[in-house]
Chain A
């Protein structure tokens, strides 16, 4: 797997003129990308810019309509993943490709099991995975059940899997989405080590801070086309953002707000729940949110944040504790009553709970209004002229890019879908707004816009609870941060008095903080 010297100066991998369409949608158009030996090359772009499509073409999951792929100067054609694996290309997927009940050894060797005549040779497998595991500094018994490991370790198992298959080109698709800041830093050290050992790495991300921390070169995709490729040292975040969005005025710093923090609006006291789906149970969570204030809830996913949002809006019952809204106890009330009292909610899963994905834009916008306006709730038409006019006005005011209020929500981009949800919730003029992962899958331009609307709401006196897995988002928006760990509030701090690193420590649990300190 070592790189022959004669190849010096020639790219290890070269994609040229890649075009891929899905029906009327062009996902990639004339994309060019190359990779040097021992290089970390970042591929950045908004959601829907075509990063994933390009990598799936490279991994043999899609066949391009046009364009060529060269590995080591040889033109190749990948029809299935095993073709590209044979050429030393490995992919670490955003959603882990690990069977939870299999052992570490079984997962790493899956698809290329050592042994003869269809028999799985455990001893040989344990032996074969030792070297790639030690390269990554993973010290685990090969018979450990994969599902019991934490996410960061599972990710290392994924990388081990790729190394075991002899990959010299490693594609990492949004690898940091599931990691704490410390784990992210650790991953970057590891990637640099792999690159120094001669592996080439394609790092897909939309988090610029990380791209600038780890990459040698950056290629930007926008609307399926290559916009620029430049050495990291020769560019800066502002330029890259401009290339990604096609705009020069996107704010990446703290969002400006002028809101006076006043009385407590939302007060949770000692709330607990039963365990719900994959999330941790809440265990005595208490906090307040004041009017005009944004309180961020940080934490590694699965530590109770999703349950917290659902418990507050009323879809998950409490086993203990009380919730007060504007001085009135709402603990036993249903969702409709809570909303009537001024609570609004932007759910985490936009497609499932946020908008009617197969319904029209107007249906998505009017869902709250249909209920709250008595005159429109009657047996008459759901969408009289006044409602349609109101919908059109909202589309204008929130600059939702859609052919009209009749368009199906599923045809809109993630950012525009989220604008529908935010518009609907803010139009109810809530006294308290709960945002769960409000900008997941939303492009930078739309994020900027949504933050502006949220800031306006707080200026009107709205209390905002912001639940986000993205620490940058919390640091840019909130006044105070609570860190959740295993269903409890592990730490609380003013945003101005804390740092990413401190929050990251708390996200991994207090115990880790003590041993690390």
Chain B
């Protein structure tokens, strides 16, 4: 059962960044400003987490500052796509390209390093080991020994679920996405909720990035998100705005990423194994498109009538 233990534990580790980014992106899917730039936002998060960590020397300070920075960036991104009317799809793609380019540039100009920045002084995010549970086989690997961010992501699932059911803000986000004029004429502020959704998305992407650079490892590598942002995006499109389904999808993608790493070379060449999560995502999207009642998931920018 060794392998199962290792497989599940690593599955949970892979799930965390996907889940965090997907929860962030969910809000933008409610406002129908689906942010496709998760990958870029995560890279920035991973990089600035390390920068803040080196500057402040404290893991907690690094996380808080980077999330704050992320939310400010998200609000600016929201401003660009609402007030300045830049197409959100184009802006998201630009964010991805910009993210991978800018982090490489900054890595070289700030630290004089190519490829990977590894430093003992980079603080790591604390891991929580639950005493008794940790020793139970299988369950221990699933429930114990993960970073604070992993547990935070589980808490966020519950909070998002409650928020979706009970808060006015999420109602307004959904209204802003589906019928912006209805919200505007009822006295709501469409632009504000759309910007808020982006700020939330960027904040969570920053957390997702830091889980990679300071949680699982303590280093920053160029392009270290390696497509996880797109997997998260697939989970969001797949779940069509439903929180629990989103969490399950993220877990599914996390586990399949884990398969990719754990699978024995004798069974399958590693190059093929690494494709597994993306094949799962592709198959999932095809199934969704074929079963969805309205034909396909809609990616659209809200447009105010007249």
Residues of A participating in the B interface, judged by any CB pair closer than 8 Å: 59, 61, 80-82, 85, 91, 93, 95-102, 106-107, 110-113, 115, 118-120, 161
Contacts and interface: CB of A to CB of B under 8 A. Distances in A.
Contacts of A59: 185
A98 B179 contact: yes
A115 B305 CA distance: 30
B168 A113 contact: yes
A91 B185 contact: yes
Contacts of B166: 119-120
By Cβ-Cβ distance, the 5 closest A-B pairs, closest first, are A111-B186, A82-B187, A97-B182, A111-B187, A99-B179
A99 B178 contact: yes
Nearest to B170: A120
Contacts of B305: 95
Contact of B186 (A96, A112, A115): A112
Interface in B280-306: 305
Contact of B185 (A93, A115, A118, A120): A93
A358 B188 CA distance: 34
Interface of B: 166-169, 171-172, 174-175, 178-179, 181-188, 305
Contact of A118 (B169, B178, B183, B186): B169
Given A99-B174, A99-B175, A110 B167 contact: no
A391 B181 CA distance: 41
B298 to A, nearest CB: 12
B175 A112 contact: no
B186 A119 contact: no
Nearest to B176: A99
A384 to B, nearest CB: 40
A223 to B, nearest CB: 20
A91 B178 CA distance: 20
30 contacts: A59-B185, A61-B185, A81-B184, A91-B185, A93-B181, A93-B185, A95-B305, A97-B182, A97-B185, A98-B182, A99-B182, A100-B178, A100-B179, A101-B178, A102-B171, A102-B174, A102-B175, A102-B178, A106-B171, A110-B172, A110-B183, A110-B186, A110-B188, A111-B187, A111-B188, A112-B186, A118-B167, A118-B169, A119-B168, A120-B168
Main secondary structure of the interface of A (DSSP, over half): loop
Contacts of A98: 179, 182
Nearest to B182: A97
A65 B238 CA distance: 49
Given A97-B179, A98-B182, A113 B171 contact: yes
Nearest to B177: A99
A101 B241 CA distance: 12
Contacts of B172: 110
B150 to A, nearest CB: 28
A110 to B, nearest CB: 5
A110 B182 contact: yes
Contact of B187 (A85, A100, A106): A85
A81 B186 contact: yes
* Interface-centre pick from B171, B174, B178, B188 (highest chain A CB count, 10 A): B171
A374 to B, nearest CB: 42
Contacts of A119: 166-168
B167 A111 contact: no
A80 B188 CA distance: 10
Contacts of A82: 187
Contact of B175 (A81, A91, A110, A115): A110
A250 B294 CA distance: 47
B290 to A, nearest CB: 18
Contacts of A161: 186
Contacts of B174: 99, 101-102
B111 to A, nearest CB: 43
Contact of B167 (A81, A101, A106, A120): A120
Contacts of B178: 99-102
